[in-house]
Structure 1
Amino acid sequence: MRLGRVTNVQPTTYRPQSQRLQILEVFKKYPDFRRYYIGLVTSVFGYRMIVDLTLGWLIFDLTQDERYLGYMFVAMAVPTVVLNLLGGVLADKLDPRHLLGAAEGFSALMVAGLGILTLNDWVEPWHVILAGALFGAGQAFDEAARNTIYARLIDRRDMGVVVPLNSLVWPTSRSIAPIVAGYIVAKAHIGTAGVTPVVFMAATGFLCMAVIAQTLHLAPAERAKGNVLREMLLGMKFIKKHSIFLYLVSFSVFIAIFGMSYLLFMPVFAVEVLEVGADGIGTLMTFAGIGSIVGLFTAARLANFERTGWVIIGGAMGFGSFVILFAISPWFWLSSAMVFIAGFFNSLYLTGVMTTLQLLVPNELRGRVMGIYTVCYGVIPLGTLQMAFVSSYSDPRVAVALGGSMVVIFAVFMGLVTRQVRTIGAVRLPVS
């Protein structure tokens, strides 16, 4: 397969059509996207329950050692990062509906197995670490398949509305799932650390998405041909050739490691600094999620804004700044306000990056290129390890503030030295 020639690697202004769909109209026009979205909601709610609260709370309850939190999240990150490129290739070579169904089914079985261990109080720290590793492996294929599927359910001209709508599920679930999970853990007291009901609820969500994926009708796309290694290298070559992809992916990886990881570090921070339990962690996650929702709706209203690059850079700077303020806040409710504002700015940044990438990448390379981009989410747990070790030698506040400071510094650097990022507008597709 030959790559299309890029006619204008420098993003230029794209003026959306006057009849651009509003968010609710998307569901009327695209019934397959509507079904996909229902499955996405059930799956992401399960993901939030497992990753944002259950695994971290469980291993910290078992060990009372923040380093084990770092070990577990690194075990989750490594297979996600290693297998992401393979997941992207398979999403382009195979039917992504089948790949998504297999990944979600695997996650459901793994999580249900952990639920059986907690129900009978058989669970040990190594079980949780292994569960994290297996879950991370499944997510590598899950993310690549989902990013390929939803872009093939809609018309490209509606991408500026659909990307925020698709992204909306993540902060919405963060607003609801952790606080529900935290309440159940605090009140139900079923199984080890009270997590058993939450684990089985998450497994059900994954299973729903696995089934729904098989009912979708996708727009045709050229299947990748040739051996897997060659196809993986094609995706990497495309990103290397077109520097805007390289800049945005690198930017996202850095922010994921040093900034977004503070959310996974929340069990330690909440217990040792703010002195709250599982329900308090859920409340903090809820405020972060609500802030992200507000940010997403703001990003959707900025879809016509011609200086998206400054939205990306400013969003990253604002995110890092309020992570720092969260770290030094002495009061729970002030901390909740800080994570709300941090979530707002993070959504501005993430939506700008995702919309730009989805508009630029050609369909036949979508799985591979977006698979590489999803490494950004896979490396978030690596930041949790560095925060855990900094915290073990100093204080959780120092660990979180250091991460936020690194985000601000890198955002300023990108704004000063990368003209291509600064000049991103609402971009027209540059691949012919």
Structure 2
Amino acid sequence: MIEREPPNRVSDSQPFLKRIFRAFRYRDFRIMWLGACVSTIGTFVQQFAQSWLVYDLTKDPFYLGLDLFLGQLPIMLFSLFGGVFADRLDRKKMLLSSQYIQMVCAFVLATLFATHTVHVWHILTLSFLVGVGQSFGGPAYSALLPTLVAQEDLANAISMNSIQFNLARIIGPTLGGLAYTVFGATWCFALNGVSYVAVILSLLLIKVHFTAPKTQISVMKSMKEGITFIREREGLTPLVVLAFCTTLFGFSLTGFLPVIVRTVFHRGPGTYELLLIFSGAGSICGALMVAAMEKFKGQGRLAVLALIVLGSATSAFSISRSFPLSCALIFLAGMAVMASASLMLSLVQVIVVDSMRGRVMSVYNLAFRAGIPLGALVLGKLIPFIGVTTAVASFGLALIIVAGYFLLVMRKTPTFRRQPHTGLSTQ
């Protein structure tokens, strides 16, 4: 049995804010949250400069899609192996190795820009290497997070982790815009490299309550066990499919914002930064909503309804020519995407047992992340032929159709009718 720090139980009679942020009662979760937040801020600082510069260097939206694709490709190739290793090896050491790889890549890119020797292929190659690090670090982090809090606070911890990510989405582009304008792209990449120190220190400070079992089973057989578990465990397969469709059609908006800013609004990096901030603010609100209503049943149904809102907001944003309206729509889209993602992830984490967590989360993360590059490649090819407005609107409509299918056809399944499980096994 996993033992964790036993803080005082938060009852329903205690203040609303205290109940929402109850995952912060756990020391290790607080430390990990802070380190991850600083590191993610650095990631968004770099992402701001990198997306803008790739489009600036090439003037071709295809390269934006290619950069996203190469960053996610290793996750499609290696994350299943990463999930097996997360169930067999020291999860903390796996995460540390992942951070070292990503930190080195950030400093290499900063050096290339500082010496004026950078080319697009450098950026694409480093994006791939960062993806390699994430393909092993992602499953380890997803498996590690539930061991930092008690069972009843797991969904809240997932929501707080989403808030951390989206605080970074607000702070990161703001710092990125300032650093890019005042100091240049080199400092954006250097700041990202330095930010990895925070998450490395947090990993060294926390105590991981997981002992990897000794096994003689081959890696491939262990991977097959994880896939079999997903197929046989009620509710998991639909969630994996829905996660893939969510990112395939629902992440098109933010990925191609530089194209929309340049071709629709005819503005510069400041507008791009502002839209990212509104998107991040909406995502924080979405995560807070999930934290406040996590005890409610019907999480699967709520997740699907949020996807319908996301598809509608995406399509409306693509045809909007009013900047204030576009800010409101991207705020709504950010709220919907984070609410749906948090609800689906909470359901998966509740269903899975700890001995299978690394493998199951690697499959789920693979489905969730694989949709991003595939959607980016398709959209990058469609935009030159049908225009950014029609392409993004069609993706939003496709998401509405997919969500409508799950809402109408799958409504009788336990996952989309009510919360299918009420407990989490830690054996």
- 1:131 aligns to 2:121 (yes or no): no
Q: How far apart in 2 are the matches of 1:428 and 1:167?
A: 22
TM-superposition CA deviations, 1:35-68 (whole Å, max 9, x none): 11111111211222233x2222121111111111
SS of the counterpart of 1:429? coil
- 1:301 aligns to 2:309 (yes or no): no
TM-superposition CA deviations, 1:258-277 (whole Å, max 9, x none): 11132111111211112222
Contact map agreement 1:42 1:205 (CA 8 A) in 2: yes
Partner of 2:281: 290
Q: How far apart in 1 are the matches of 2:42 and 2:270?
A: 17
Q: How far apart in 2 are the matches of 1:55 and 1:362?
A: 39
Contact map agreement 1:59 1:68 (CA 8 A) in 2: yes
Partner of 1:26: 23
Amino acid at match of 2:40: V
SS of the counterpart of 2:205? coil
Q: How far apart in 1 are the matches of 2:40 and 2:164?
A: 7
Q: Structure 1 pair 430/172, CA: closer, same or farther in 2 (3 Å)?
A: closer
Contact map agreement 1:80 1:139 (CA 8 A) in 2: yes
Pick from 383, 400, 412: which aligns with 2:404? 412
TM-superposition CA deviations, 1:121-177 (whole Å, max 9, x none): 110011111111111111111211111111111111111221111111122111221
Q: How far apart in 2 are the matches of 1:19 and 1:26?
A: 17
How much has 1:430 moved relative to structure 2?
7.1
Q: How far apart in 2 are the matches of 1:162 and 1:280?
A: 33
Contact map agreement 1:221 1:363 (CA 8 A) in 2: no
Q: Structure 1 pair 309/24, CA: closer, same or farther in 2 (3 Å)?
A: closer
Pick from 188, 199, 204: which aligns with 1:198? 188
Q: How far apart in 1 are the matches of 2:134 and 2:50?
A: 15
SS of the counterpart of 1:263? helix
Partner of 2:40: 44
Partner of 1:357: 348
- 1:240 aligns to 2:236 (yes or no): no
Contact map agreement 2:82 2:139 (CA 8 A) in 1: yes
How much has 1:427 moved relative to structure 2?
3.5
Q: Which stretch of the first structure deviates more once superposed, 223-232 or 140-149?
A: 223-232
Q: Which stretch of the first structure deviates more once superposed, 243-252 or 317-326?
A: 243-252
Contact map agreement 2:31 2:206 (CA 8 A) in 1: yes
Amino acid at match of 2:396: G
Pick from 177, 201, 218: which aligns with 1:182? 177
Q: How far apart in 2 are the matches of 1:426 and 1:383?
A: 30
Q: How far apart in 2 are the matches of 1:312 and 1:400?
A: 21
How much has 1:309 moved relative to structure 2?
2.2
Contact map agreement 1:264 1:381 (CA 8 A) in 2: no
- 1:428 aligns to 2:406 (yes or no): no
Pick from 381, 384, 387: which aligns with 2:376? 384
**CA RMSD after TM alignment:** 1.9
Amino acid at match of 1:35: I
Contact map agreement 1:313 1:414 (CA 8 A) in 2: yes
Q: How far apart in 2 are the matches of 1:25 and 1:159?
A: 10
Partner of 1:11: none
- 1:258 aligns to 2:249 (yes or no): yes
Q: How far apart in 2 are the matches of 1:17 and 1:313?
A: 29
Contact map agreement 1:315 1:345 (CA 8 A) in 2: yes
Partner of 1:5: none
Partner of 1:143: 138
How much has 1:224 moved relative to structure 2?
6.2
Pick from 247, 266, 278: which aligns with 1:275? 266
- 1:208 aligns to 2:198 (yes or no): yes
- 1:223 aligns to 2:219 (yes or no): no
Partner of 2:157: 162
Partner of 2:3: none
Which runs of 5 or more structure 1 residues have no equivalent in the other structure? Answer: 1-15
SS of the counterpart of 1:220? coil
Amino acid at match of 2:127: G
Q: Structure 1 pair 426/348, CA: closer, same or farther in 2 (3 Å)?
A: farther
Q: Structure 1 pair 19/26, CA: closer, same or farther in 2 (3 Å)?
A: farther
SS of the counterpart of 1:218? coil
SS of the counterpart of 1:330? coil
Q: Which stretch of the first structure deviates more once superposed, 313-322 or 331-340?
A: 331-340
Contact map agreement 2:90 2:211 (CA 8 A) in 1: no
Which runs of 5 or more structure 2 residues have no equivalent in the other structure? Answer: 1-9
Partner of 2:326: 335
Q: How far apart in 2 are the matches of 1:158 and 1:221?
A: 21
How much has 1:340 moved relative to structure 2?
0.2
Amino acid at match of 2:79: N
Q: How far apart in 2 are the matches of 1:370 and 1:19?
A: 34
Normalised by the length of structure 2, the TM-score is 0.91
Identity %: 26
Amino acid at match of 1:399: A
Amino acid at match of 2:375: G
- 1:396 aligns to 2:388 (yes or no): yes
Pick from 60, 68, 73: which aligns with 2:68? 73
Q: How far apart in 1 are the matches of 2:421 and 2:320?
A: 39
1:321-332 mapped onto 2 (5 Å cutoff): 321-332=312-323
Q: How far apart in 1 are the matches of 2:128 and 2:225?
A: 27
Q: What is the aligned residue count?
A: 410
How much has 1:378 moved relative to structure 2?
4.2
How much has 1:414 moved relative to structure 2?
0.8
Q: How far apart in 2 are the matches of 1:122 and 1:346?
A: 38
SS of the counterpart of 1:223? coil
How much has 1:386 moved relative to structure 2?
1.2
